[in-house]
Amino acid sequence: MWRASVLTILPDVFPGPLGASLAGKAMAAGTWSLDVVDIRTFAADKHRTVDDTPAGGGPGMVMKADVLGRAIDAAETDERPRLLLSPRGAPLTQARVETLAAGVGVVLICGRFEGVDERVIAARALEEVSIGDYVLSGGEIAAMALIDACVRLLPGVMGTAASSAEESFAEGLLEYPQYTKPQLWEGRPIPEVLTSGDHSRIAAWRRAEAERLTRERRPDLWAAYLRRFRSGSRTG
Q: Which residues bind ligand SAM (CB under 6 A)?
A: 85-88, 110-112, 114-116, 130-132, 134-139, 142
Minimum distance from residue 91 beta carbon to ligand SAM (Å): 9
For ligand SAM, the closer CB: 139 or 225: 139
For ligand SAM, the closer CB: 26 or 67: 67
Residues in the chain: 236
Minimum distance from residue 211 beta carbon to ligand SAM (Å): 29
Give CA 33 to chain center in angstroms: 16
| Residue with the CB atom nearest ligand SAM in the bound state | 111
Minimum distance from residue 81 beta carbon to ligand SAM (Å): 15
For ligand SAM, the closer CB: 26 or 120: 120
Range 77-82 contact pairs with CB under 8 angstroms and sequence separation of 24 or more: 78/104, 79/103, 79/104, 80/3, 80/5, 80/104, 80/105, 80/106, 80/107, 81/106, 81/107, 81/127, 82/106, 82/107, 82/109, 82/124, 82/125, 82/126, 82/127
For ligand SAM, the closer CB: 13 or 136: 136
